[in-house]
Structure formats: structure tokens, C-alpha cells
Structure 1
């Protein structure tokens, strides 16, 4: 089934409402390579993006029971020890796939830091600020938004840290 190029997602509506400029990007939904690291790179390549500017969103739960969101370049892997330290947790674990939708409201592969069920503490890898624009999921598989990182971090009240391996 072909994707409508002008179809707005909730992420896009929120960015519109907050007057944060973005550029939507759509790609054909297809099975990417197994694993989130390879899938993120696959999506970036499908859109002709630099995978270092394409950020994947990962949800995690700390030892305290609090949820946290981490956004890292598609080419990288989250360092759980660095992530725990940045989040002020003793330890942190990624959410099991079966829990992602219940906690975030999104499905695996379509998780965005914008518009989750609740606003969880969010940390972007520090390289986000090195780019004029970055790409994050638009809240569904097949759609991404390109946005100025400082505007996005401001909206999310997000921080930056070195959180990758």
C-alpha cells in the first residue's frame, strides 16, 4: 500500500502547534535488517540521510523504576552504564519490546521522542548539537522529521551527554 506523502502524524501536529519548523520525510515501509542498529542505518540510507544525523529513540527503565528516553545516532549503540550515569540512575535497562507500546504509545521502529504518552526525561547523544538539523522518527514506521536540534531539545526539555559505546 502506497504511503500518502502529505499524511501528518501526531509528531508533526505537535511540532506545528509549538511552531517548531520541520521537514517531513517519508520512505517505503519494508523489512529492514534485524536489530535496531542496522534498521536505523537502513532507514537513513533509504532517505539519503547521513546515519550520524539520524537519531533512533530508545526507551529504558532505571533501577528506581523511572522511565527514560535516549536518542542516539543510528550508527551507534547505547552504553547502559553511561546512560544510567547521565540519567542519575544506579543502573538502566532497555524496555522489552513487549512493553514499548504500553509505556511510550509507539511501536518498535516508530518510536519518537515527541508525543509519548508521558514526557519522560530525555537525553540525546551530545553529537546532536553538532548538526544544523537532525532526523527523528515522526511517530510511525515510514516517516521521519528533520528538525533543528536545539529547538527539539528545548521542546522536550532534553539534555545531552556522551551515552554511546
Structure 2
């Protein structure tokens, strides 16, 4: 199992990711957690939960979907799945499908498995699963595989201009 290392609280290291730079610029408290990423891991999110020693319901994955022709971000617990119909409804859309991976990478500025809801190249409409509100802090990608940000849900919502909705489904 990969060992997790906590980084500096509330500060991005020199040359941080766009996510950590955005949080630092706004003075948002966060803790950076690094772990040795295994490229053969079946699930990046479940790998992160195990490496960090936290339950999978506190680690959230960032997924990019196409809702009626507009790229939209859904942030859901790693142990579950994104309910595309619920995501579409949350943003007033009718149809949703997972976005083309190349379009997701190009638009967010991050690679798959490391897409952060924070500091994206182009700010997309974002919906965070309502379950995030039941935790004092949650974990989201910091913008690269093997690096997670621990942040208060209220700060995540504010920094992404997100709304909450029940968009996650258990596997």
C-alpha cells in the first residue's frame, strides 16, 4: 500500500498545481496529501482513499460530462458512480453523457485521473454531491495523480461556484 504524506497546511509549495495556487491566492485553508501513485491501480480514487487511510465516502472524484452540449463537472464519492440524469437535472439540462476524455483534459487543463474541480483552465458549471456536506473535510484531486487536497466542503463549493445535489449513486 502506498504511504500518504501530508503537506503544508494552507500553503502551496513552489510551483504548485493550479488548484493549490488558486486556494493559496484566496487564502483558503487546505491540507495537501501526497502518496505514491501506482499506475496499475484499478481506481485512482479508491487508491487515494486507501493510501490516505480514510473512508471512500470522504474522497471525491471529479468527472466531466457533456450536458446538452455544455461541459459540466460532477464531483461524487469515489465508491459510487455519477448519476448523469441527476447531474443534467441539477443544471437544468435534459441529457448528459460522459465527456470526451480529450475534451475534458483540454478544457480543465488536467490529465484524467488528476482532474481537480479547483483551478481549472476554464471554469465549468459544477455540481458536488450533497453527501459532501455531511463531512467536516473532504478530499479532491489537487491536479495530478498521487496528490489530494483536504478541504472543508463549504470552501470547495465557494471556490468552484458549485451547487449541491444528489448526483452520486452507489455502485
* TM-score between both structures, scaled by the size of structure 1: 0.90
Alignment equivalent of 1:95, drawn from 96, 99, 124: 99
In the superposition, relative to structure 1, how do residues 22 and 14 fare at CA in structure 2: closer, same or farther (>3 Å)?
Answer: same
Q: Superposition pairs for residues 17-56 of structure 1, below 5 Å?
A: 17-34=25-42, 38-56=43-61
- Residues 129 and 166 of structure 2 are in contact (CA less than 8 Å); yes or no, is this contact kept in structure 1? yes
1:114 corresponding residue in structure 2: 118
Q: Where do 5+ consecutive residues of structure 1 fail to align? A: none
Is contact 1:60–1:92 with CA below 8 Å preserved after alignment? yes
Q: Is the 8 A contact 2:65 2:98 kept in 1?
A: yes
Q: Which runs of 5+ in 2 are unaligned?
A: 8-12
Check the 8 A contact 1:32/1:39 in 2, yes or no: no
Q: Find the aligned partners of 2:101 and 2:21 in 1 and give their Cα distance.
A: 26
Is the strand fraction higher in 1 or 2? 2
Query: When the two structures are superposed, what TM-score results if normalisation uses the length of structure 2?
Result: 0.87
Q: Partners in 2 of 1:57 and 1:74 — Cα distance?
A: 9
Tell me how many residue pairs correspond in the alignment. 158
